Amino acid sequence: MPLEPKNLPVHEVRGALIEAVRMHGRVLVQAPTGSGKSTQIPQIALDEGLAADGEIVVLQPRRLAARMLARRVASERGVPLGGEVGYQVRLESRVSAETRIRFVTEGILLRRMVSDPSLRGVGMVIFDEFHERHLHGDITLGRALQLQRASRPDLRIVVMSATLQVSGLSGYLAPCAQVVSQGRTFPVRVRYVEKPLDFEKSPVWDVAAEAAAALAAEIPDGDVLVFMPGAYEIARTCEALRHRLGARDFDVLPLHGELTTAEQDRAVDESGRRKVIVATNVAETSLTIPGVRAVVDSGLARMARFDPNRGIDTLLIEKISQASAEQRAGRAGRTAPGVCVRLWTEREHGNRASAETPEVKRMDLAEVVLTLKAAGVVDVAGFPWLDAPDPKALLRAETLLADLGALDGRSLEITSAGRRMLRFPLHPRYARMLVEAGERGCVAEAAAIAAITQGRPLLVRNVDRRIEEARERTFGEERVSDLFLALDGWRYAERTGFSVEECRRVGVHVQAARQVRSLAEQFVRIAREGGIDAAPLGEQRGEREALVRCVLAGFADHVAKRLDRGTLRCELVHGRRGMLARDSVVQDAALFVAGEVSEIGGRSGEVTTLLGLCTRVDAALLEEVFPGSVREEHTAELDPVAKRVSARRRVVFRDLVLEDREAGEATSDAAVRILLREVKEGRLAIERWDETVELWMARVNLLARLFPEFEIAPISEDDRWVILEQVVHGARTLREVRERDPWPTLRGWLSPEQLAALDRLLPERMEMANGRKARVTYAKDGTATLSARIQELYGVDRNVVIAQGRLPVRIEVLAPNQRPIQVTDDLSRFWKETYPEIKHALSRRYPRHEWR
Ligand code: ADP
Ligand code: MG
């Protein structure tokens, strides 16, 4: 027998809970599923005045759960739904001015924090099912904690979890009180299958139906709960079950978010008859279905995960973790001992992940990042995350938002377009499309296009000539967008009543076409909720040109340019490369935006990025939709073939070069800059800038040091580049630079008087006492060396004086073959002591020379 609400286990900790909330304002409640957390704690809070006269907002991970919990709580209190107790989910709400307990989902609360940063009127926020680690739960909790610390110390925060496995949570919430209830559960026997099952061979719904029918026959009373990943598998399971069970003893009832509310209620409500309920993981911990004694677990769930191909989250069927399986099994032990059949082997169970990855680690963050920015959190990496997301995922989100014009490209702060996008609870890509469509009066078409890009492929790919001709006859020969062709294809499918034959004739996938409408209708409803006037779907109002702008707005991160005419190779913004799909209608567009960017693995392991669902655009359009995004740059560049610097004119969209043309002669400043860089990096040299230049500069610097009275500026390392720049000035080609004469510029460094002083005081050749001339070199360290052959030195016995004696001079005595024999700074001693010793040997070696 189901328990009376007041006998539910959480009421045993009622006193502790009330005290914890009053004392600490922050409480972590842990109690197993079915204890009464979701239905009882909001009521306790209301009845005990824990939220003062404020509202109690309960954040739920799932819409279905929010609605059903509200309904249950309203009925327990005997009040109408939407009065004291209500719910608010995307596109649906039942609330009023009287509402005191409000069940909400997803971004509802986070958005409310944007429009009302201090959450006026809210006294308590309850984070339910926190163990599921939904993205919005994580982020909203972070914001609520910030708010409580900053300006709302009276705001009460309750975090509820069905398991103790949320690591780091109590530290994150500290200081916080903990209230734990053991709940009451009965043992559940878990059975595994013997051998691994292959759902490719026998579909999971058949296997599950078989197992459920067997269990139904086996257990004496109670209901059976079957877990399936999604609506489709649930429908198939129900079908298979009805075959097996007949309608005699059991009602077969589906439970998932896409059913009508009446159908959903039927799965939970007591009918007096036994039931087999086939549900998604909404029945795992969010909803308790009373009376379940047996569980069949497919072990699968649809999970949202970022899909890099489409740049949004995709639902993929994945294997659930051990923790999830544990919870699912637990559903059989609520009212009496139960049994759970797992459709996988025990051995495989051991290999499964112990717990699910939190959404923040696997989902696209663009929407929540935008909301955080709107709430004034500019540094999203610095946000107090319970589990910080991958920095790459944050960067990806910010880059996308900047691409969509929602954030300022530099400061990464939210823009006015970004704020307008927030009105639509959608992925920012689609929110941006709706903003544009609203302004251009083509919401219905944009909604259909959004649905087409999000759903399964609508057009048959790479069709033959016959279908191509049929398409041309039916839809015209317009070559603007693959999306328009798809839009026409969808309308055609609807017009023909989804005739398989007609659709095949023009290459349209009927199933995909069928799915477009419901998705598109959702977009239209969201647009209307956001205050945009939208025509009914299917009605054609806006111009196609307006629609091109919407597509561009939503896919601005996929702007691509053909690299050449001969191939399909393209370059995209942010330096990515890709290939235009061979069957795209925009074959001759130089610039387009892709609605689909997918990575295709080739046979030899290489990956190609394929650009599909393309729409032709041009630079003027880019600038119109994203003002300031297209700029003209005038630059100069070294042409490696012509070996000259020429001017270039570039048109750039963000970081994608749209046009790059030679534009005549480069300015001399630009040419100098580029040519000097070549010199600096050692790829280009002025031939006459040789050792003599270096020596000359060393002399100048020496003169400057020894004779400050001449007021010579020494040539620094920087000055060398100033001189070089002057030498190169006016040149455009590498050859001109090579052949430049540096000397006029070098000499120009000094005045004529200074130049004369240089030659006089630090001569390169000087006359010695015997009338002969000898070479003098000045090393960079400032020593002077006079070099002369022995014979030239005959008759010189006093030391040589240079720079008026302000510089010591060394004499390098050379043999007749110019080889140094001796370096001395005292010539008379050389003649006296060294010369006699070497003379003999030298004269023998060089007998033809004079030897005094
Ligand atoms: P928890 O949040 O701790 O999992 P709930 O508050 O959701 O627990 O549910 C507590 C109990 O209330 C369930 O075990 C069930 O008996 C009952 N209950 C909850 N929702 C319904 C409903 N829609 N119909 C009937 N009984 C319900
Ligand atoms: Mg609950």
How far is the centre of ligand 2, averaged over its atoms, from the C-alpha of 54 (Å)?
Answer: 22
Q: How far is CA 125 from the centre of its chain?
A: 31
Ligand 1 pocket member 9 (CB < 6 A): no
Ligand 1 pocket member 43 (CB < 6 A): no
How far is the centre of ligand 1, averaged over its atoms, from the C-alpha of 39 (Å)?
Answer: 6
Is residue 465's pLDDT more than 80?
Answer: yes
The b/e string for 715-732 (b: 16+ C-beta within 10 A; e otherwise) is: beeeeeeebbbbbbeebb
So what's the pLDDT on residue 280? 93
How far is the centre of ligand 2, averaged over its atoms, from the C-alpha of 95 (Å)?
Answer: 21
Ligand 1 pocket member 37 (CB < 6 A): yes
**pLDDT digit string, tens, across residues 16-30:** 999 999 999 999 999
Atom of ligand 1 nearest to the CA of 288: 13
**pLDDT digit string, tens, across residues 277-307:** 999 998 888 888 888 999 999 999 998 888 7
Q: Which residues contact 194 (CB under 8 A, 6 or more apart)?
A: 345
Q: How far is CA 170 from the centre of its chain?
A: 30
Is residue 641's pLDDT more than 80?
Answer: yes
**pLDDT digit string, tens, across residues 329-387:** 999 988 889 999 999 999 999 999 998 889 999 889 999 999 999 988 889 999 999 99
When pLDDT is cut at 50, 70 and 90, the band that residue 106 belongs to is confident
Atom of ligand 1 nearest to the CA of 40: 6
Atom of ligand 1 nearest to the CA of 2: 16
How far is the centre of ligand 2, averaged over its atoms, from the C-alpha of 288 (Å)?
Answer: 8
Ligand 1 pocket member 271 (CB < 6 A): no
CB atoms within 10 A of CB 752: 8
Ligand 1 pocket member 11 (CB < 6 A): no
Ligand 1 pocket member 133 (CB < 6 A): no
- Residue-averaged pLDDT of the chain: 90
How far is the centre of ligand 1, averaged over its atoms, from the C-alpha of 287 (Å)?
Answer: 7
Task: Report, as an integer, the average pLDDT of 169-197.
Answer: 90
Ligand 1 pocket member 646 (CB < 6 A): no
DSSP codes of every residue in 43-68? HHHHHTTTTTTSEEEEEES-HHHHHH
Q: Is 595 helix (H, G, I), strand (E, B) or coil?
A: strand
Q: Which residues contact 643 (CB under 8 A, 6 or more apart)?
A: 733, 734, 735
Please choose from 71, 288, 331, 335 the residue to mutate so as to test ligand 1's pocket, defined by most ligand atoms within 8 A of CB: 288
**More confident position, 477 or 14:** 14
Is residue 179's pLDDT more than 50?
Answer: yes
Q: Which residues contact 359 (CB under 8 A, 6 or more apart)?
A: 133, 134, 135, 138, 304
**pLDDT digit string, tens, across residues 532-560:** 887 777 666 557 889 999 999 999 999 99
So what's the pLDDT on residue 689? 94
Residue carrying structure tokens 């916080």? 176
**More confident position, 207 or 542:** 207
How far is the centre of ligand 2, averaged over its atoms, from the C-alpha of 158 (Å)?
Answer: 13
Ligand 1 pocket member 181 (CB < 6 A): no
How far is the centre of ligand 2, averaged over its atoms, from the C-alpha of 181 (Å)?
Answer: 13
How far is the centre of ligand 2, averaged over its atoms, from the C-alpha of 504 (Å)?
Answer: 48
Is residue 113's pLDDT more than 80?
Answer: yes
Ligand 1 pocket member 454 (CB < 6 A): no
How far is the centre of ligand 1, averaged over its atoms, from the C-alpha of 226 (Å)?
Answer: 18
Name the residue at shortest CA distance from atom 22 of ligand 1: 72
Ligand nearest to the CA of 37: 1
* 646 and 637 Cβ atoms separated by less than 8 Å: yes
How far is the centre of ligand 1, averaged over its atoms, from the C-alpha of 46 (Å)?
Answer: 18
Ligand nearest to the CA of 30: 1
Distance (Å, whole) CA 281 – CA 302: 9
Retrieve residue 153's tokens. 């110390």
**More confident position, 631 or 7:** 631
So what's the pLDDT on residue 97? 94
Stated length of the chain: 852
So what's the pLDDT on residue 6? 83
Helix (H) or strand (E) holding 636: strand 630-639
Atom of ligand 1 nearest to the CA of 71: 23
Task: Provide the 8-state DSSP code for 768.
Answer: -
Beta strands in 602-742 (DSSP E): 607-616, 630-639, 644-653, 656-665
So what's the pLDDT on residue 540? 64
Ligand nearest to the CA of 185: 1
Atom of ligand 1 nearest to the CA of 39: 6
How far is the centre of ligand 2, averaged over its atoms, from the C-alpha of 180 (Å)?
Answer: 14
How far is the centre of ligand 1, averaged over its atoms, from the C-alpha of 271 (Å)?
Answer: 16
Task: Provide the 8-state DSSP code for 185.
Answer: -
Ligand nearest to the CA of 69: 1
Name the residue at shortest CA distance from atom 12 of ligand 1: 36
| Residue 33: φ, ψ to 5° | -55, 135
How far is the centre of ligand 1, averaged over its atoms, from the C-alpha of 333 (Å)?
Answer: 14
* 588 and 602 Cβ atoms separated by less than 8 Å: no
Task: Report, as an integer, the average pLDDT of 432-447.
Answer: 91
Ligand nearest to the CA of 44: 1
Atom of ligand 1 nearest to the CA of 285: 4
Ligand 1 pocket member 34 (CB < 6 A): yes
Is residue 1's pLDDT more than 50?
Answer: no
So what's the pLDDT on residue 352? 94
Distance (Å, whole) CA 55 – CA 61: 19
Residues above pLDDT 70, as percent of the chain: 98
Q: Exposure of 490 by Cβ count < 10 A (0-12 exposed, 13-18 middle, 19+ buried)?
A: buried
Ligand 1 pocket member 39 (CB < 6 A): yes
Name the residue at shortest CA distance from atom 23 of ligand 1: 72
Is residue 489's pLDDT more than 90?
Answer: yes
When pLDDT is cut at 50, 70 and 90, the band that residue 247 belongs to is low
Ligand nearest to the CA of 64: 1
Name the residue at shortest CA distance from atom 5 of ligand 1: 36
| Residue 375: φ, ψ to 5° | -85, 5
Task: Report, as an integer, the average pLDDT of 762-770.
Answer: 88
Q: Is 821 helix (H, G, I), strand (E, B) or coil?
A: strand
The b/e string for 386-396 (b: 16+ C-beta within 10 A; e otherwise) is: beebeeebbeb
Q: How far is CA 493 from the centre of its chain?
A: 36
CB atoms within 10 A of CB 592: 29
Report the DSSP beta bridge partners of residue 623.
none
Residues above pLDDT 90, as percent of the chain: 58
- Give the CA angle between residues 326, 328, 330 to the nearest 5°: 70
Atom of ligand 1 nearest to the CA of 10: 3
pTM for this structure?
0.76
How far is the centre of ligand 1, averaged over its atoms, from the C-alpha of 190 (Å)?
Answer: 23
**More confident position, 607 or 451:** 451
So what's the pLDDT on residue 539? 62
Is residue 2's pLDDT more than 70?
Answer: no
So what's the pLDDT on residue 501? 93
How far is the centre of ligand 1, averaged over its atoms, from the C-alpha of 288 (Å)?
Answer: 5
When pLDDT is cut at 50, 70 and 90, the band that residue 3 belongs to is low
**pLDDT digit string, tens, across residues 558-574:** 999 999 988 999 999 99
Give the environment of ion ligand 2: residues with CB less than 5 A: 37-38
Out of 493-502, 741-750, 777-786, least confident range? 777-786
